[in-house]
Amino acid sequence: MNKINLPDKFHFFLKKRGWTLFNYQKDFIEEVQNNVFKRYLISSDTGTGKTITLFLPLLIDHLEKKKSKIIYISPLKSIISDLFENLNKIVSDLNIKIRVGKRTGDDSYIYKKKQIENPEEILLTTPESLALMITRKEVDHIFKSTTYLAIDELNEIINTKRGDQLALAISQIINVNKKIRIFASSTNIQNFKYLSNWVSFKKKTKIITNKLLKKIKVDILVLKNMPDYGHSVDHALGEIYDIIKNKKTIIFVNTRAQCEILYKNLFLVYPDLKIGIYHGSLSKNIRMETEKKFKVSDINCVVSTSSLEMGIDWKNIDKIINIGAPKSVNKIIQRTGRSNHQYNSISESLLIPTNKFEYLECVALKQLIFSKKYDRILEKNGAKDVLCQHLLLISCHSSFSEDKIYEIVKSTFPYKSLSKEDFHEILSFIHHGGYALQNCKDIKKLKKLNNGKFVIKDEHSKRNILMNAGTIIDSSNIKIKTLKGKVLGTVEESFLNSIKEKDTFIFAGLTLVCLKIKNDEIIVISKTKKSKKVPVYWGGSMPLKSNLSEEILRILQDKKFSKFPHEIRKFLLKQKKMSEIPTKNKILIEKFPYQSGEYIFFHTFLGRETNQTLTNFLIDYLNKKKIFTINYILNDYSFGLFFNGKINIQKEDLKFFFKKEFNNVNFLNTALAKRIFKEIALISGLVLKNNIYTKTRKNFINCDLIFDTLMKYEPNHIILKITAEEINNYFIQSSQIYKIKNLNFFFKRLSEVSEFSKSLIMEKEKTKANEIL
């Protein structure tokens, strides 16, 4: 059915490599050759050759002696170096004269300069580097001569600030080269419409789907001694060992702390294992070393966080093990797809729940995979702080007129409904700060020319803007260094709070002693002595997806829990007898005495973020009623507040809170608002992370203070409006708080701790509810 004309050389090349083209790949080539559409969206499972497909039209062009060029954009830097090598091999096999180039933050200034004079036919880059390219007039000719623009793994960034930044950058490129054709690739998700609209830029998009699904098999390991609480896999070490000792495996965990602990424990119990460790905090050198060792089979198992989910094409992986709760369907499919990364083989993964709640989550996940209910990517409007940065960036390129840029910005999907008034306000903000105070002429970053166009004020402002470009606010900037100066990796600033000199902790699989804490460095020495005291650091925890939490509640509706293994059934039956099982629209609230006081527990199954937000508001609400919470605990499923002595809280009070009080909460008065404001302040250029005047990385002024000042003196300032929008967006994207309005609840007074509450009380460190000073 697919009759396309491919050059003989290409057939020969495929034969030599033992490859056959999928139907979707043939479709794609044919469509591109027909030249009807300017935009294409390819959707296919992981491990079905999406990335290479994006290059096929270009390769065929060159075999047919047509000159074309491609710019390839990947959200992951790690893909690029891998792809660079692969493409070079393919090009030399095909014997065509194409040069492959890359442009990322890691490449040298001199190389990039030469590249502008003599650009390669294939250019691999990231959204961040692309955003910097559009600030330079001398790069325009590269865009003008580019035939194809390819965006890989669009689903990964489409609803993030990086995605907004990319959309804006592409709109500028289209402005320079109207003929450019855009390809995008994505894994299977539920709502393609969003992706195809995003790629369209006011043209029609052709969707090409791979109907052939990759076969995956997901099993759950149930052990009799599965713990009631905690996130340790010590009970399953033996089983893990049996799998990994003679199979090439990747073990995925959810947090970096889990990663370090599991690696260490496996190593202690089974010193004969050849295993490695991989996560985002480790320095590039250490990660590359692990990659190399794995490729040449010096190690045959890697313990990793999400960092290894995408990109690096590690061949011959037999099995994937996933520790803990999966949190999202697409994540597990992605992870499973890492094994047998070839199209016709079955990918296998084993889920190992670390407690009973996680077991339920695993079962729900299996259900969703079985019924092909993938994650939905929720649409969002473009973030306006990213637009602020974009306008600053393009003002470095050349002067622009307000109306023209407004039209260009509106051609992107994220900013399609941006109003003229909002745009004007944003432009005023970056022009002169946008403060109502009259004498703010000194705040100018842009200057307005006589013809009404805007351009960057001076060279100094330009350098500041370029130095601070980017939408990823990286909080991990504390370096872990050995005495000899080797950087092992970086951790979040908050880690400094939990550590002091002479403490031991594990990092990069080593036991380290902290010798000295400098401003942004922890100097360590490696130690062989075993240490029980392990201050761990968190980070990398993922939100529980809404479809998954609904599925958990659905499977709990089974009256007798007959499908579950014995231990789980016992656990659920006991809970049901003592208290109740929550349902989809009815959360469970339990009140019971505990030690010298009382607990109120809320079993919501709405994810950690939602629980955190609810906890904060509830504590505030109760404080106002003179009921003071001592401390609280929370996880993805539940949260509990602890009070001294007996407290008088009735069902009606809580009902009032959820139904009335909660709807009137001003989200700008929360700690979350300050966190989001800080990010917006940095992205929009309100404050500078790097300043050429001071050369320090510290902010001059505490963002919280700026926030409070604005709230007091200019509550209608554009930056506060953006903050309110982003809080809303945050709630929609990563929490399920919008569900609260429609919820009802069971209210149970118990004489003792219920099964559900017990596991959380045992598991977690309690957090003080109020500041002590």
Smallest distance from the beta carbon of 522 to other proteins, in angstroms? 16
Stretch that binds other proteins, among 104-112, 249-257, 292-300, 697-705 (CB under 8 A): 697-705
Angstrom distance (rounded) from CA 232 to CA 517: 29
Residue 69: partners with Cβ closer than 8 Å, 6 or more residues away: 58, 119, 121, 122, 123, 145, 146, 147, 148
Q: Which is nearer to other proteins, 396 or 556 (CB)?
A: 396
- Residue pointed to by tokens 């959707």: 43
Report the residue number, 5 or 494, with the smaller CB distance to other proteins. 494
Q: Which is nearer to other proteins, 614 or 706 (CB)?
A: 706
Query: Does 664 participate in binding other proteins (rule CB under 8 A)?
Result: no
Work out how close the CB of 228 gets to other proteins at its nearest, in angstroms, rounded to a whole number: 24
- What's the min distance (Å) between Cβ of 392 and other proteins? 11
686 makes contact with other proteins (CB under 8 A): yes
Cβ closest to other proteins, residue 237 vs residue 724: 724
Write down the least CB distance from residue 458 to other proteins, Å: 10
Binding to other proteins (CB under 8 A) within 431-460 occurs at 433, 435, 437-440, 442-443, 445, 460
Residue 117 engages other proteins in binding (rule: CB under 8 A): no
Positions in 607-626 near other proteins (CB under 8 A): none
- Measured from the CB of residue 406, what is the shortest distance to other proteins in angstroms? 21
d(CA 107, CA 441): 39
**Residue number with CB closer to other proteins (650 or 770):** 770
Indicate the residue type of 385: D
Give CA–CA dist 640/357, Å, rounded.
16
Beta-bridge mates of residue 161: none
Burial of 363 (0-12, 13-18, 19+ CB in 10 A): buried
Residues 6+ apart with CB under 8 A from 120: 98, 99, 100, 101
Q: How far is the CB of 712 from other proteins (least distance, A)?
A: 7
Contact 433, 440 (CB under 8 A): yes
CB of 23 vs other proteins, minimal distance in Å: 53
Continuous segment of H or E residues that includes residue 82: helix 77-94
- The answer to whether 329 touches 374, Cβ cutoff 8 Å, is yes
Instruction: Name the residue nearer to other proteins (CB basis): 139 or 682.
Output: 682
Can you say whether residue 451 is alpha, beta or left, with left for phi > 0 and alpha for psi between -120 and 50 degrees? Answer: alpha
767 binds other proteins (CB under 8 A): yes
Q: Which of residues 698-737 bind other proteins (CB under 8 A)?
A: 700-702, 705-706, 709-710, 712-714, 717
Binders of other proteins in range 323-382 (CB under 8 A): none
**Which has the closest alpha carbon to 136: 119, 113, 120?**
113
**Burial status of residue 247 (CB atoms within 10 A of its CB: 0-12, 13-18, 19 or more):** middle
Q: Per CB under 8 A, which of residues 383..402 are in contact with other proteins?
A: none
Q: Looking at 175-183, 244-252, 359-367, 681-689, which segment touches other proteins (CB under 8 A)?
A: 681-689
Residue of 464, 611, 757, 759 that binds other proteins (CB under 8 A): 464
If one asks whether residue 695 binds other proteins (CB under 8 A), the answer comes out as: no
Amino acid letter, residue 254: N
| Residue whose token pair is 């083989």 | 345
Rounded to a whole number of angstroms, the distance between the first and last alpha carbons of the chain is 75
CA atoms of 565 and 580, how far apart (whole Å):
20
Contact between 691 and other proteins (CB under 8 A)? yes
CA distance 387 to 290: 39
498 binds other proteins (CB under 8 A): yes
Q: From the list 35, 497, 562, 595, which residue makes contact with other proteins (rule: CB under 8 A)?
A: 497
CA–CA separation, 273 vs 258, rounded Å? 18
Residue placing its CB nearer to other proteins in the complex, 531 or 690:
690
Cβ atoms of residues 385 and 730 within 8 Å: no
Name the residue nearer to other proteins (CB basis): 412 or 461: 461
Q: How far is the CB of 439 from other proteins (least distance, A)?
A: 6
Q: Which helix (H) or strand (E) holds 651?
A: helix 651-659
Strands 478-482 and 454-456: unpaired
CB 165 within 8 A of CB 471: yes
Q: Which residue, 92 or 644, is less far from other proteins as judged by CB?
A: 644
12 or 713: whose CB is closer to other proteins?
713
CA atoms of 517 and 598, how far apart (whole Å): 41
Q: Which of 1, 36, 296, 773 binds other proteins (CB under 8 A)?
A: 773
State the minimum distance, in angstroms, from the CB of residue 573 to other proteins. 36
Q: What is the DSSP string of 701-735?
A: S-HHHHHHHHHHH-TT-HHHHHHHHHHHHHHHHH-
Using CB under 8 A, which of 429, 599, 730, 731 touches other proteins? 429
Angle between helical axes of 384-395 and 459-467 (0-180°, round to 10):
140
401-420 residues near other proteins, rule: CB under 8 A: none
* Shortest Å distance, C-beta 409 to other proteins: 21
CB 684 within 8 A of CB 717: no
* Least distance (Å) between residue 459 CB and other proteins: 12
Closest CB to other proteins among residues 432, 576 = 432
Packing angle, helices 384-395 and 671-684, rounded to 10: 20
Does 541 bind other proteins (CB under 8 A)? Our answer is: no
Q: By CB under 8 A, name the one of 494, 557, 644, 744 that touches other proteins.
A: 494
Q: How far is the CB of 438 from other proteins (least distance, A)?
A: 7
The b-or-e profile of 511-528 (16+ CB within 10 A means b, else e) is: bbbbeeeeeeebbbeeee
At its nearest, how many Å lie between other proteins and the CB of residue 197? 34
Three-state SS sequence of 586-655? EEEEEEEEECCEEEEEEECCCCHHHHHHHHHHHHHHHHHCCCCCCEEEECCCEEEEEEECCCCCCHHHHH
Strand order in the sheet with 148-151: 100-103, 122-125, 70-73, 148-151, 181-186, 39-43, 205-209
Q: At residue 701, what is the residue type?
A: I
| Among positions 4, 630, 647, 687, the unique one binding other proteins when judged by CB under 8 A | 687
Q: What angle do CA 216, 317, 88 make, to 5 degrees?
A: 110
CB of 709 to other proteins, least distance (A): 5
Question: Residues touching other proteins: how many (CB under 8 A)?
Answer: 40
Cβ proximity to other proteins, 582 vs 685, nearer residue: 685
Contact status: 768 vs other proteins (CB under 8 A): yes
Please say which residue, 440 or 483, places its beta carbon nearer to other proteins. 440
Distance, CA of 410 to chain centre: 26
Helices (H), 346-443: 356-370, 384-395, 402-410, 420-432
Binding-site member from 1, 36, 110, 772 for other proteins (CB under 8 A) = 772
**184 vs 681, beta carbon nearer other proteins:** 681
Question: What is the rounded CA–CA span in Å between residue 164 and residue 465?
Answer: 18
Nearer to other proteins, 398 or 498 (CB): 498
The residue among 137 and 460 lying less far from other proteins, judged by its C-beta, is 460
Compose the 189-218 pattern: x for residues touching other proteins by CB under 8 A, - for all others: ------------------------------
Task: Please give the residue ranges that form the binding site for other proteins (CB under 8 A).
Answer: 429-430, 433, 435, 437-440, 442-443, 445, 460-461, 464, 494, 497-498, 685-688, 691, 693, 700-702, 705-706, 709-710, 712-714, 717, 765, 767-768, 771-773
